[in-house]
Structure 1
Amino acid sequence: MSSNFIWAALLILSASLTQTGCISDNSNPALPLDPSADLEKVLAESADFPLENLRMDPTTLKMLADLRSATAKYHRMEVAEDDGYSQATPCISHPNLGSMGYHFVNFDLVDGIFDPTQPEALLYEMDQEGNMKLVAVEFIVVTEAWEEEEIPHFGSQIFDIALAPTPLPFDNYQLHVWVWKNNPSGIFTKFNPKVKCGENGSH
């Protein structure tokens, strides 16, 4: 699979989805003063990596803190757009598991490289006032372009395997990381029961 084919497929997917899922460009103007200050609060109730386990896994905990520091600027959506992220999906939800939110993807980053501080996608939730709030990130690695023998992993967490055509038109490794909103189902779980896709993000 050529990089040109992957790029074309992503553009087609983005165009088809954004036609029915457009949002306003309102964003949360407030940036946390210390991106790592409430990391433990965000992670405390996670099912897959409870806080006590993370304290015994300092490598993953440090990577999560670094990821928050690297993505704190994207609480301002205009900064995300300036850095190449654009809306790629409407708000994605599941009838029983919760929602992922709106995916903003930097298509230039979707390749065979995994950078733990540079996610390919940012996930936003719309609040009742129509403001977009950063809640999570997603890493996407093109399987065919990945040159390592082992599946990529974020600290001790291995990536999920996603086979085409769901949800992308090419096989990929992907991982959702809920570093900006607590996910009771787990830090690395795709859907968050606390995220809703109702009108104007109403809960």
Structure 2
Amino acid sequence: MKRQFIAFAVVTLLAAGLALSSEWFMSHDHWYAKEPEKDFALARLIADIRTSTSQYQDLKQAQADGYVQISGNVPLEGYNFRKAGNTQFDYHHPSTLLYAQREGRWQLVGLKYIASGVRPAKTPFQGIDWERSLAICRYADWQEFRSPSQEACPKVHPETKSAFTVWYPDTWVIRLWIWYPNPYGLFAGMNPLLAPFDDHMIPPDEAGSWETWKAHTEFSNFNHHFSGWLVLVMGMAMTGSALWGGQKSRYAHLWPMLTLGVALFILYRSDPEYWPFGPRTLTELLGDREAIEHKLSGIIVLAMGSVEWLRARRILSHWIWGMIFPWLAIMGGVTLLFHLHPISNFNYVGRTNSPHTTEGVTAILAGMTYLIGSLGIMKQRWWGLVPALFVILMGVQLIVYIE
């Protein structure tokens, strides 16, 4: 009875974590921004903002009103033109105007409202959170370098050797894409449709230098490859279990333990920009759909491994527990089908999201074939090899993954 209670407590906690993660995933259905409440007041406000800022479709008018270029072409955001001395919040006079430029033609694409100091207690748009923009050093050629203080800014940019010009501290921003369509939402943190305007002069994703961007890419590749080797060995252990005794074999304990290892690795190592690797906090992570999906996948794999390990230990013996692994595998696969890396996939790699799509299909097939075996639809011993082979295929896909 005690063992059953412990098992029930573990599974309940995992289910609660999975439910909470799913709730965050569903509520953050656009990149780095929630969708606002649909009401007449918001619609009227946005219409008024469009009217008051329509004059700035002409860049010369914006410059005449005091907006000065302060950045280069930031990937998936555009050029920033800020009005000096504009410290008070004003819907109709935003702190910064965002422009795209192609073949000498400038186009107003969005607005950026900025607050300095501590995070504002209230938001000007109900349901929309302020997003932290990390402190940055800027240089004469518009290159950037992340630094928590002005004193730590290199006197010349480490790659381009351009002279240091200004340092901006941490700020809180809300972007409003009312002058260019954005599939990620009206208040999203980036706009993938600006990819054709990018000149690839500035590295993406707040990297600050191409060397840092390369390090971030290598970090991601290592995570995928190391996870792939763990999954590959896990699939081989599943194969041994299917061939030599199923739940009674010595391999029955091995592959669930490897599954737990994969889960803990994902939960710890994913998203280097967040704690414990980067400057962003766990609270900020909850506003980032990409990071939430990474943690959600870790929780799903943790639940799968925990249930299967408890089944191998004979603590969970009811047939219903055999349904957990396949259904969670299918859920994880569906998550992968819709998982995107907006910077790398849209802007720098020049490819669709095919790696995660194929991985998602593989996970779904692994779950479905495992489910067919668990339900007794296919009772042959060799059928146990089928989901194991899909797990091995998943491992290979992760090993050859390139960010």
CA distance in 1, matches of 2:112, 2:72: 15
Q: CA RMSD in A?
A: 2.8
SS in structure 1 of the partner of residue 66 of structure 2: coil
Is the 8 Å Cα contact of residues 59 and 155 (structure 1) preserved in structure 2? no
Shift of 1:171: 2.9
Shift of 1:74: 0.3
Deviations 1:51-92 (A, max 9, x none): xx76x3222222211111110000111110010001111100
Counterpart in the other structure of 2:203: none
Deviations 1:121-160 (A, max 9, x none): 1111113x3200001010111125x8x6x23332442322
Shift of 1:198: 3.6
Counterpart in the other structure of 2:123: 152
Amino acid at match of 1:161: R
Gaps of 5+ in 1: 1-45, 94-98
Amino acid at match of 2:99: Y
Is the 8 Å Cα contact of residues 63 and 155 (structure 1) preserved in structure 2? no
Counterpart in the other structure of 1:96: none
Is the 8 Å Cα contact of residues 49 and 187 (structure 1) preserved in structure 2? no
Is the 8 Å Cα contact of residues 114 and 152 (structure 1) preserved in structure 2? no
1:68-147 aligned at under 5 Å gives the runs 68-93=50-75, 99-109=76-86, 111=87, 113-127=88-102, 129-143=103-117
CA distance in 1, matches of 2:172, 2:39: 23
Counterpart in the other structure of 1:174: 173
Aligned length: 142
Is the 8 Å Cα contact of residues 34 and 127 (structure 2) preserved in structure 1? no
1:131–1:173 CA distance, 2 compared to 1 (3 A): same
Is the 8 Å Cα contact of residues 151 and 173 (structure 1) preserved in structure 2? no
Counterpart in the other structure of 2:187: 188
Gaps of 5+ in 2: 1-28, 137-145, 148-166, 200-403
Is the 8 Å Cα contact of residues 153 and 159 (structure 1) preserved in structure 2? no
CA distance in 2, matches of 1:159, 1:107: 21
CA distance in 2, matches of 1:191, 1:79: 25
Is the 8 Å Cα contact of residues 34 and 128 (structure 2) preserved in structure 1? no
Counterpart in the other structure of 1:58: 40
Q: More helix by proportion, 1 or 2? A: 2
Counterpart in the other structure of 1:162: 133
CA distance in 2, matches of 1:198, 1:156: 30
CA distance in 1, matches of 2:84, 2:46: 23
TM-score (norm 2): 0.32
Larger Rg over CA atoms: 2
SS in structure 1 of the partner of residue 186 of structure 2: coil
SS in structure 2 of the partner of residue 90 of structure 1: coil
Is the 8 Å Cα contact of residues 176 and 189 (structure 1) preserved in structure 2? yes
The higher relative CO (CA closer than 8 Å, separation ≥ 6) is in 1
Is the 8 Å Cα contact of residues 140 and 174 (structure 1) preserved in structure 2? yes
Q: More strand by proportion, 1 or 2? A: 1
CA distance in 2, matches of 1:89, 1:164: 14
CA distance in 2, matches of 1:169, 1:151: 23
Is the 8 Å Cα contact of residues 99 and 106 (structure 2) preserved in structure 1? yes
- Percent identity, aligned pairs only, is 26
Counterpart in the other structure of 2:354: none
Deviations 1:90-122 (A, max 9, x none): 1001xxxxx10111111211x2x2111110111
Shift of 1:49: 7.1
Deviations 1:164-185 (A, max 9, x none): 3459732322111000001001
